[in-house]
Structures are given as structure tokens and as C-alpha cells.
Structure 1
Amino acid sequence: MAARSGAALPPQSDGDLVRDGVCSLFIAQKLGVSQPTCGEHLRWLSQAGLVRSVKIKQWVFYRRDESRIAEVKEVLSGEW
């Protein structure tokens, strides 16, 4: 599994890492998959509400939706 630290990601010229998230290109490179493959999976995660996306210029940035992830975790753990 890839490291969770953002330190291993290259600097982004557009988009704030905390506010906007990580560029999909960098996520694909980090995971070692093609950009279209990564983009498709990120779209599914976005539709599920687990990540949020924002388009800045020609790039799409993704970040985790921590509150939604916590809700799903609670449902899956049977604490509802």
C-alpha cells in the first residue's frame, strides 16, 4: 500500500493541497496506474460521496470527505 504522507507528492502549481486536494495525475503516478483508470475510480468514489472533487484550469483535484467516510465506516461496522 502506498504511503499516506503528502510529502512524497510533487509540488502542485495549481490547487491548495489541503483545501482542494491532490491532482488526479499525481494520484495515478503514485499508484502506478494510467490516468484514465485512476480517473474512473475517482469518479466512482466521488459519486459515492467518499471523495470531493474540484476542477481548476484543466486539472481535477480530489480530497477525502472525512465525514462521509466516518458515516460509511459506522454503517459497515454495525453501530447503527
Structure 2
Amino acid sequence: MLRTPTDETRLRILAWLKEPGPAADGVTADAVAERFSMPHPVAVTHLRLLRATGMLRTSRSEDRVHYHRDEMRIAEVARMFEKGW
């Protein structure tokens, strides 16, 4: 789910969310769409999939959803893959 043979968008979103600005404030679907030059509905789909897998958590500010990395879940998934899952 994180990587497909032709597109690593979700991995790039997770990497971007680790950078200081996005890590501190989170990002909106609009910001993801702009950053990765994709239509808003596509950005929303990527973010919802990442949230569904537990990689992202959300917060609300001024009626906008902000997405943040869930470092504990990401570390848990990384450990599973290290163990050959």
C-alpha cells in the first residue's frame, strides 16, 4: 500500500511530513496537492489511505484537517518489515 511499482507518492508524502515545517504544523490536503502537483481528490485519497493504515493522524484547526505522521505506528511497521513480515 505504501509503494507501487510506478508511484511512490505515499512514501514521498511521509518523507515530506518529516521535514521541520510540515512536521510541526501538519499539512492539509490542499498543501499536498500543491506540493506534489496532483488534483485535490487524489491528494485526499493518498492521505486517507495513509490514515487508514495508521501512518498518519489528524487534527483540526479552523475547520481544516491537518495530517501528521504517527511516528510510533511508522516505527512499528518498520520493525515488522525488519523481521521479514
| Gap runs ≥5 in structure 1 | 10-16
Percent of paired sites with the same residue:
32
Say which one has the larger Rg. Answer: 1
Secondary structure of the residue aligned to 2:31 is: helix
- Cross-structure match for 1:49: 54
CA distance in 1, matches of 2:29, 2:45: 10
| Gap runs ≥5 in structure 2 | 1-11
TM superposition shift of 1:28: 1.1
Q: Aligned match of 1:69 in 65, 74, 78?
A: 74
CA distance in 1, matches of 2:30, 2:81: 30
- Aligned-pair RMSD on alpha carbons? 2.6
Q: Residues 24 and 6 of structure 1: is their aligned pair in 2 closer, same or farther, counting only changes over 3 Å? A: farther
TM superposition shift of 1:55: 3.1
- Cross-structure match for 2:33: 28
TM superposition shift of 1:57: 3.4
TM-score, normalization by structure 2: 0.67
